[in-house]
Amino acid sequence: MTPWRMEKSGVSGTPPRERDVYEIIDAEGNDIGGMFFEEEARQIITAVNAYEPMRTALAEIAKGEGPYSRDPLTHADNCIDAMKAIAVKVLGCTA
């Protein structure tokens, strides 16, 4: 998936209080509409670009899979470890 991005589209306000404004471009190259200040645009893009990997990870976690064991407690522990590994990978942190 191509990440969303921002492109500078102009300036808002009058000197000395003018600020750059940006358009947000989606993965298909379409302007989503509206003008945003830089910080707002960055927050929107960060949230949208994080959505798909997290959605994919949650779908994988929802399967509840892990290395099989005949012992139910061991199997549950294996599933939890597998789900934690998926979450850690997507979030980019350590458990």
Average pLDDT over residues 30-58: 88
Name the β-bridge partners of 6: 24
The residue with tokens 């290395």 is: 67
Does some domain include residue 18? yes
- The whole domain housing 89 covers 63-95
Average pLDDT over residues 57-73: 85
Instruction: Give the count of domains, the chain.
Output: 2
Question: CA 74, CA 79: separation in Å to the nearest integer?
Answer: 9
Does some domain include residue 41? yes
Among candidate residues 83, 67, 64, the one with its CA nearest the CA of residue 75: 67
- What is the pLDDT at residue 10? 87
- What is the pLDDT at residue 48? 86
**Together in a domain, 40 and 68:** no
Answer yes or no: is pLDDT of 37 > 70: yes
Angle at 27 between CA 86 and CA 19, to 5 degrees: 110
Does some domain include residue 68? yes
